[in-house]
């Protein structure tokens, strides 16, 4: 359903946006996290669970909350982008953008002509409130927030040109895959990885574009903010559920080992 893009307005006002990943495929979990106070929910359809049709269910859940959605698509595919935009996605993230040409293709896929190549079905799709939003095609182009991911050493080499792409609003460093591109997967604190990140940061900050990433071994949330990041995708719904479950079971086992089940936050609170 059409509404002004709250995440875009938040960033335009100069604020930092701290969000949570939603990759478990549960609209209910997305709705819960949307009421938790995150600045955005990053719905992951690159690695996350779910098909295109299920994006609508997750969007409906998130739209009942104060947190806006940012959806990561599986690939820089203009057909998939067209479908999720028609479903009502207003903020989109495209992974593995290695060149300025790829960044421009992503932007053009998200915009109606003459600024882009997005196919027309505005009279009937959910994004236009099923044709009820006056002037939707013009509003849609202005309302769109586009994030492209730098995730390889090749992308870092092209970071200046990628960041210079008009319409690429957020340049998001995917530090884990960036590390993997030089054989350092899961070594985000390694000096070689940090050197690539610093090169990308320099190019992005010089462009004036919004810079984003995830907390990692090379930087905490506080350090990222200090370095100029304004979009930070923090915890993941699956990890939050996993860690809460592990904590509750560990606490219970420790109490059983001691011969008693005493009062505790994890064990006593259910509803």
Place of tokens 């960044």: 103
What are the backbone angles phi and psi of residue 94, rounded to the nearest 5°?
Answer: -115, 120
> For 89-188, where are the alpha helices, taking DSSP H only?
100-109, 136-143, 153-157, 159-163, 175-180
Distance of alpha carbon 251 from alpha carbon 261, whole angstroms: 9
Q: Which residues pair with 21 in a beta bridge?
A: 42, 236
- Please report the DSSP string for 201-269 in residue order: HHHHHHHT-EEEE--BTTB-HHHHHHTT--EEEEEEHHHHHHHHHHHHHHHHHHHHHTT-----HHHH-
Residue given tokens 């690159």 in the structure block: 46
Can you tell me the distance from the alpha carbon of 5 to that of 39, in angstroms, rounded to the nearest whole number?
Answer: 12
- Tell how far CA 133 is from the center of its chain: 26
Q: How many CA atoms lie within 13 A of 144 on its CB side?
A: 30
Task: Kindly name the residue from 15, 35, 47, 138 that is annotated as catalytic.
Answer: 47
| Residue 47 appears among annotated catalytic residues | yes
The 8-class DSSP code of residue 150 comes to E
Active site residues: 47
């Amino acid at each position: 359903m059409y509404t002004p893009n709250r995440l875009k307005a938040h960033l335009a006002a100069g604020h930092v946006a701290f969000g949570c990943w939603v990759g478990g495929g549960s609209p209910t979990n997305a709705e819960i996290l949307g009421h938790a106070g995150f600045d955005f929910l990053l719905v992951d359809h690159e690695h996350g669970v779910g098909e295109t049709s299920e994006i609508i269910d997750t969007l409906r859940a998130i739209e009942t909350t104060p947190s806006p959605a940012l959806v990561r698509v599986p690939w820089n595919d203009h057909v998939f982008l067209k479908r999720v935009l028609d479903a009502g996605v207003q903020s989109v993230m495209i992974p593995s953008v290695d060149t300025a040409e790829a960044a421009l293709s992503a932007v053009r896929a998200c915009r109606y002509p003459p600024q882009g190549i997005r196919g027309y079905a505005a009279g009937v799709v959910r994004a236009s409130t099923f044709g009820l939003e006056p002037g939707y095609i013009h509003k849609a182009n202005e309302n769109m927030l586009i994030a492209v991911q730098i995730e390889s050493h090749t992308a870092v080499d092209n970071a200046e040109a990628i960041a210079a792409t008009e319409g690429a609003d957020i340049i998001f460093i995917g530090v884990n895959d960036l590390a993997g591109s030089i054989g350092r997967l899961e070594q985000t604190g390694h000096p070689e990885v940090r050197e690539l990140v610093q090169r990308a940061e320099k190019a992005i900050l010089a462009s004036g574009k919004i810079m984003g990433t995830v907390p990692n071994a090379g930087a905490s949330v506080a350090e990222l903010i200090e370095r100029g990041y304004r979009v930070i995708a923090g915890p993941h719904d699956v990890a939050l559920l996993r860690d809460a479950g592990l904590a509750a079971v560990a606490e219970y086992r420790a109490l059983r080992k001691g011969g008693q089940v005493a009062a505790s936050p994890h064990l006593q609170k259910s509803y």
